[in-house]
Structure 1
């Protein structure tokens, strides 16, 4: 799903919206995947992650796809929950293991890139990680009707 080779390691907060759009263009070019940045489309992302898990490939092999999915999830938070993309400071980078994340209207900071990885590693049937759609619906600090 991602052919940039960098897996987004040099993309800052300003580039995440474009990265999410690029991911959607790549993912939908060959398939009719309904990725429209809606809350409902997070269920589709859950299915895509489940497919990656069942594919059994090494995480390094799918790092670009995971980054694209994380960018997409973050952009859903931006468009639907009132979040904004931010560059993490040094302490946040160390804690989250990522360069970027989102800040919610109430000031809370979330890591959608890491959330996707957690869903891959701990999600699925019987897993400890809730679905991305459930995550959104129970997310504190979101606005109800963001543009």
Structure 2
């Protein structure tokens, strides 16, 4: 029988959690956490700092969870993902209660990706590179990226 931790967050709590974290961190440290893909490099730097500072996974669960919430929120805002509550099989597989579903239907575990980055470390586990190589991202039209289409659209008749 699957037992659910009463303190486990639900998908609806993830955006507010990430928003509070960004407001707190940017107010005190002026870190460029603006939900951009580039800001994931800052998260890589923060996770690496926790590792080099001697923190262990048991000593840094809140920080890792919060950074994972931020990474997930970048996926939501930039890649078209949505926060989802994992079902029992997904919780068992990912070891997390929530994750994100991409536009193509795949689910990803940003909380676990941050933990993995912390435990393994190194550029091969970069969260920024994870995003750039991520399957299932929503494709943005050239106009949404600030790029003009090479051919003008025909005028309405």
- Note whether the superposition's TM-score is higher than 0.5: yes
Name the structure 2 match of 1:27: 25
Give the superposed CA RMSD.
Answer: 1.8
SS in 2 for 1:35: coil
Q: Residue deviations 1:94-143, cap 9 Å, x none?
A: 00000000000000000000000000111225xxx431111000100001
Segments of 5+ residues of structure 1 without an aligned counterpart are 1-7
**For the Cα contact (< 8 Å) 1:80–1:145, is it kept in 2?**
no
User: Would you say the 8 A contact 1:69–1:116 is kept in 2?
Assistant: yes
Count of residue pairs brought into register by the alignment: 137
5+ residue gaps, structure 2, are 1-5, 145-157
Aligned partner (choices 13, 23, 30) of residue 15 of structure 1: 13
Among candidates 48, 51, 71, match of residue 49 of structure 2:
51
Who is 1:95 aligned against?
A: 93
- In structure 2, C-alpha distance between the alignment counterparts of 1:119 and 1:89, rounded to whole Å: 24
Q: Which residue in 1 is equivalent to 2:136?
A: 141
Where relative contact order (Cα < 8 A, 6+ residues apart) is larger, the structure is: 1
SS in 2 for 1:85: strand
SS at match of 1:102: strand
- Contact 1:84/1:104 (<8 A) preserved: yes
- Take 2:108 and 2:65, find their aligned partners in 1: how far apart are those partners? 15
